[in-house]
Amino acid sequence: MNLSVITKALGWNRSSYLLLSTFVALVFVIVVVWWPLAEDYLVTFNPNYPLWMQIDWLLIGVFLAMSLLIMARPDLKSDALIVGVGLAGGLVIESWGTQTNLWTYYTNERPPLWIIPAWPIASLAIDRLTRLLGRMFDERYTHSLAVLYWMIFPTFYALLLNFVWPTLDKSLTIGALAVCALLMVTPTDYRLAVLTFAAGAGLGYFLELWGTTRECWIYYTHETPPLFAVLAHGLAAVAFWRVGRLTQAGLKKIPGPERAQRKRI
């Protein structure tokens, strides 16, 4: 098959290679800046065992999957917003979880800065997954997904309450509960909310499975991983999507140079 046909089917363009290059460069920078972490990982290799048995195939699989996803039909303008929201949102979530000891990283940083870039990369991958699901479940499924919405989100909130109960005296937890409740009772698009939640939870499962089984981070329940953590990626994806929409709406209200010139005239 012709290479151009393959790239067209995958939705690759010049921006795709720019995103991939940025992703690889970011990983390189993290390895260089936090080299002691890479050394800790490399010393786990045992020369007495075959190399293929010690390669982290799950990590490679997740890395390749996210690389291919972020390259699919990119739009640098909208992607820049996704990255910005992902960075800010990831920092807030990691600060809440590590400060309240709901989860702990093996470096004991609260939060570790090297994990923050993973959030916008995951956000881009979730955006692509959501688009794919959107083509599979179009507007004809809106009513069914609206019903599913009111089954999924209250159930998740019950899991959330149960999971964070030991930290209910913390202001950060109270704030997280309030934000989650506000998100759930003010849906803007049932269909996209459910699809975004599904995409986030789907990718979140593999991220959490890798992180908890490799003891990169561990939850206070010591589950590998807890169901709540997997589904929390879904809610985080919905929150980032909603913040992105609000930001876009706000930016549209800011007069551009042409509109400002018309007003002066």
pLDDT tens for 133-142 read 999 999 999 9
Between 260 and 127, the higher pLDDT residue: 127
**CB-based burial, 127-150: b 16+ in 10 Å, e otherwise:** bbbbeebbeebeeebeeebeebbe
265 pLDDT higher than 50: no
Of 34-38, 119-123, 212-216, 261-265, give the lowest mean pLDDT range.
Answer: 261-265
Phi, psi of 194 (to 5 degrees): -65, -45
pLDDT of 184 reads 92
Residue 176 banded pLDDT, cuts 50, 70, 90: very high
255 pLDDT higher than 90: no
Q: What is the mean pLDDT of residues 102-120?
A: 94
61 pLDDT higher than 60: yes
The identity of residue 238, as a single letter, is V
1 pLDDT higher than 80: no
pLDDT of 9 reads 56
Mean pLDDT of the chain: 89
Are 86 and 75 contacting, i.e. CB atoms less than 8 angstroms apart?
Answer: no
pLDDT of 53 reads 82
Spatial distance between the Cα atoms of 210 and 58, rounded to a whole number of angstroms:
7
pLDDT of 3 reads 54
Q: What is the mean pLDDT of residues 39-66?
A: 85
Of 8-17, 106-115, 178-187, 221-230, give the lowest mean pLDDT range.
Answer: 8-17
pLDDT of 10 reads 62
Q: What is the mean pLDDT of residues 21-33?
A: 86
Query: Is residue 172 exposed (0-12), middle (13-18) or buried (19+ Cβ within 10 Å)?
Result: middle
pLDDT of 126 reads 97
Greatest CA span in the chain, whole angstroms? 79
pLDDT tens for 178-234 read 999 999 998 889 999 999 999 999 999 999 999 999 889 999 999 999 999 999 999
Residue 258 banded pLDDT, cuts 50, 70, 90: low
Whose CA is closest to 119, among 77, 79, 91?
91
The identity of residue 180, as a single letter, is C
How far from 254 is each of 94, 125, 142, 258, 262, CA to CA, in Å?
31, 29, 32, 11, 14
pLDDT tens for 88-98 read 999 999 999 99
Q: Using the structure block, give the residue that is written with the tokens 């986030």.
A: 200
